[in-house]
Amino acid sequence: MNSLRNRLSFGLILSLLVLLLAQWWLSSRAIENLLQAQLQDQLQQDSETLLAGVELDTAGALSMNSDRLVPAYQQPYSGVYYALQYKQDIRYSRSLWDAAFVMPTASGSNATITRQPGPDGQQLLVHARLYQKDDQLFTIAIARDITTLQNNLLQYQLANAGFSALFLLALVLIQRWIVIGTLKPLNTVQAALARLQQGEIAQLEFKGPDEIKPLVDELNRLLIAIDQRLKRSREGMGNLAHALKTRLARLSQLSADTDQRGFSTEVQALTQEVARLIDRETARVRVVGDLRPGQRVDLHEILSALVNSCKALYRDKAIQFTLQVPMNTRLLGDREDLFELFGNLIDNASKWASSQVSISLQGSTLIVADDGPGCSPENLNALTQRGFRADENTPGSGLGLAIAQDIASTYGATLEFKNGNTGLHVWVTFKPGALV
């Protein structure tokens, strides 16, 4: 039952079956009640006609004139019968012949309707009512055979059941055809996924129901995020490998240097740089933690983890960090992307800060500011260019801010660099709805 097609078919069959059974029962009851109401009206008329022919002579003896009734009341076992009770005397129609039926007890002005077996295997509907005439009470019961009526009703019920079954089958086939046609675009998605796995395409193309499109859009967004993440990971590893290779080459050159004092000093500096590079990458991997794309992550938690990491990396500078971001502020995005974005900005601020780094949230804009030397106006627009370094004497690859710019663009955010009263201020403005 894991198939969507089978679930839809089962649900339709079950609901239609319940509806058709309800329709069958209600229609059968409605027709039966209508026919019985018409029959009761006829029995009421026959009862009143019989009452009109009842007379009492001067001696109080009962006499009846049933000539006004239809001849069927005179024919044996005709299916229409009557019984009249006056005191202890009960008189039956000649159509009963030598048979009789139970006289229902009638009271008040309302008729009593009962069903009981009759002569010759008949099923009788009996209408009994108490009448008053000439200050005397009479009970008249009119009975009619409803066997034919019940047989006709049964035939109608069977015919209705047959047509309902055919109707159900037709609806199921039509629904099956509609479901197969509706779900057919999923086969296209399946084929596209196979092509994606083989590397023939980079994104899924989908033309189908609107209910499926958000799923395909999320898959495409996830593919983009994974591709960008893989690209940045490769660039990060490449940058780290290049930095290590450069320093190893320098160590190799120093091995031939005869100045042992200068050799020891530079080896120590190079070793510290390598250790700092490794610590930065290790800290970044450690604070990223669980990677679940497309979630709302706690902005305060991310920034706190990055601040703690930078405190450890730049502990020799004793930087004072100020974090002014409300608790439980959430940002929609990939956890690793956000760590990469804010990590590069806070790391850059920590690198250039003299003693203070402040991080504050104003509306939908996050501001990272340091109290360092700032940046010359002619270099502000070049900060996000790959490989650009404002100071060649300061360690770094010149890729951090470029990566931050790429990530911000992915989320529709803008990255602005401004010189404050002291140091450089970076403004990250997110699009509406990204922050909650």
Q: pLDDT tens digits for 377-412?
A: 777 776 766 554 544 445 555 567 877 887 888 788
Query: Has residue 360 got a pLDDT over 90?
Result: yes
Please give the residue that has the higher pLDDT: either 273 or 357. Answer: 357
Q: Which residues, listed in sequence order, are joined to residue 418 by a DSSP beta bridge? A: 425
How are strands ordered across the β-sheet holding 365-370?
Answer: 320-324, 356-362, 365-370, 424-429, 414-419
Question: Of 162 and 184, which is predicted with more confidence?
Answer: 162
Average of per-residue pLDDT values in the chain: 80
- Is the fold of 4-151 the same as that of 216-429? no
Mean pLDDT on 358-384: 85
Joined tokens for residue 336: 């690793």
Q: Which two tokens stand for residue 342?
A: 């804010």
Please give the residue that has the higher pLDDT: either 390 or 271. Answer: 271
Average pLDDT over residues 139-156: 90
Model confidence, pTM = 0.47
Q: For residue 345, with 0-12 CB atoms within 10 Å meaning exposed, 13-18 middle and 19 or more buried, which class applies?
A: buried
Helix and strand numbers (H, E) in the chain are 7, 14
Q: For residue 212, with 0-12 CB atoms within 10 Å meaning exposed, 13-18 middle and 19 or more buried, which class applies? A: middle
Instruction: State whether CATH 3.40.140.10 applies to domain 216-429.
Output: no
CA distance 375 to 417: 9
d(C-alpha 404, C-alpha 415), whole Å: 8
Structure tokens given for 405 = 């710019």
pLDDT category, 121, cuts 50, 70, 90? Answer: confident
pLDDT digits (tens, 9 = 90+) for 285-343: 544 444 444 567 889 998 999 999 888 888 888 899 999 999 888 888 777 778 888 98
Distance set, CA 79 to CA 21, 112, 150, 155 (Å): 33, 19, 14, 21
The edge-to-edge listing of strands for the beta sheet with 123-133 is 89-92, 80-86, 136-145, 123-133, 112-117
What is the per-residue pLDDT across 51-66, written as a single tens digit (0 to 9) for each? 888 887 767 777 777 7
Q: Which of 11-25, 49-63, 205-219, 269-283 has the lowest mean pLDDT?
A: 269-283
* Per-residue pLDDT, 52: 85
**Residue-range domain boundaries for the chain:** 4-151, 216-429
Contact between residue 140 and residue 82 where contact means Cβ atoms under 8 Å apart: yes
The CA-atom distances, in angstroms, between 14 and each of 11, 20, 169, 410 are 5, 10, 12, 48
- Which pLDDT score, from 0 to 100, does residue 287 have? 44
Distances, alpha carbon 339 to alpha carbons 27, 237, 356, 359, 407, in Å: 68, 17, 21, 14, 10
Class of the domain covering 4-151: alpha beta
Task: Show the beta-strand stretches assigned E in 246-339.
Answer: 295-298, 320-324, 330-333
